[in-house]
Amino acid sequence: MTKSIRAFAIAALLFGSAQINFGQEQLTSVYSNLASKSCRTISVDKETGGTTQVCSGIGGYKLQVHDDDARQSITVIAPNGTKHDLDFWQVVTHAFSSLGSKAEWRAMRRKGKVTPVALIVRVNANEDPGNPNRVTSYLAVTKLTPKKICVTHKIPPGVNANADARRAADSSGAAECLKTTP
């Protein structure tokens, strides 16, 4: 066997094993409900009428859904009880907003245990004051790492938005946190 054929065979073998290893770490989607009837109200602000509800998550995570001044956001509660405010109303949009009815968790399954690594939530924004019925639907991608939980991507509407959000979520562990929207 020549050196070039041997090198090609070794490269093919390495590439094949890399795909197999990646396949073992394949992420899947698990969904939880954000609809108010599926969550438990834990507080109501008597002055503003704002509410906070707790919704079930996966892998020991919970989500607090905040609704105030016709805007919604989420606080992620990690399995250890720490709270991480995602601040959608500053990071995703300043406009009036509402959340989609489901949260998509990107998760790994290891030894029968589900471990979430990212969260995708639809944020519907009314960003056109001249046309309040026009809604722009973003997908907010949040990384869930032991060191940081924050929004890393704001995926705009488009034909491939769901696939783009999943790709962003699957690599979000190394991504920087988004700053406040101007």
Q: What is the mean pLDDT of each run of 10 residues along the chain (182 residues)?
A: 38 29 68 93 94 97 96 97 97 96 95 93 95 95 97 98 98 95 78
β-pair partners for 20: none
175 with 143: CB under 8 angstroms? Answer: yes
Say what the pLDDT of residue 129 is.
87
| Cβ atoms < 10 Å from Cβ of 51 | 17
Which of 139, 152, 143 is closest to 117 using CA atoms?
Answer: 143
Assessment of whether the complete model's pTM goes beyond 0.95: no
pLDDT value for 180? 87
Q: For the chain, first and last CA: distance in Å?
A: 61
**Phi (first) and psi of residue 115, to 5 degrees:** -120, 105
**For residue 139, what pLDDT is reported?**
98
Please report where in the chains the tokens 């996966």 appear, as a residue: 58
| Model pLDDT, residue 25 | 66
Which amino acid is residue 34, in one-letter code?
L
Ramachandran angles phi, psi of 134, nearest 5°: -85, 125
Q: For 38-146, where are the E strands, in sequence order?
A: 40-44, 51-56, 62-68, 71-77, 83-85, 96-110, 113-126, 136-144
